[in-house]
Amino acid sequence: MAGDSIQFATVRGTYEYVVDSTEIVDPEDTQVMESRARPELTLITCYPFYFVGAAPKRFIVHAQLSSDERRIQAQREVQAR
């Protein structure tokens, strides 16, 4: 749901993303994976959720790096220089 946060852990650290939007699309609708030129996370899963087998749709979650994480990331880049 829009406004929800997602924490994503990597070997470099844990990052927080905030959900922008969700949508339901056809499996052939691949433009949902195209970059929107900003730090983002796109989650894709089969839909409907209860469906067993090759589901007819895809549920997409679009999230962007939280403003706090962008600030921290910028500070790290400055310190690395």
User: pLDDT of the chain along its 81 residues, tens only?
Assistant: 899 999 989 898 888 999 999 999 999 999 998 888 888 999 999 999 999 988 999 999 999 998 776 666 656 666 777
| Residue 63 burial (C-beta neighbours within 10 Å; 0-12, 13-18, 19+) | buried
Q: What is the pLDDT of residues 54-65, one digit of tens each?
A: 899 999 999 999
Q: Taking the domain 5-80, which CATH number applies?
A: 2.40.260.10
Q: Where are the domains of the chain?
A: 5-80
Q: How far is it, in rounded angstroms, from Cα 81 to Cα 68?
A: 21
Find the DSSP H helices in 1-81.
Answer: 67-80
Write down the pTM of the prediction. Answer: 0.78
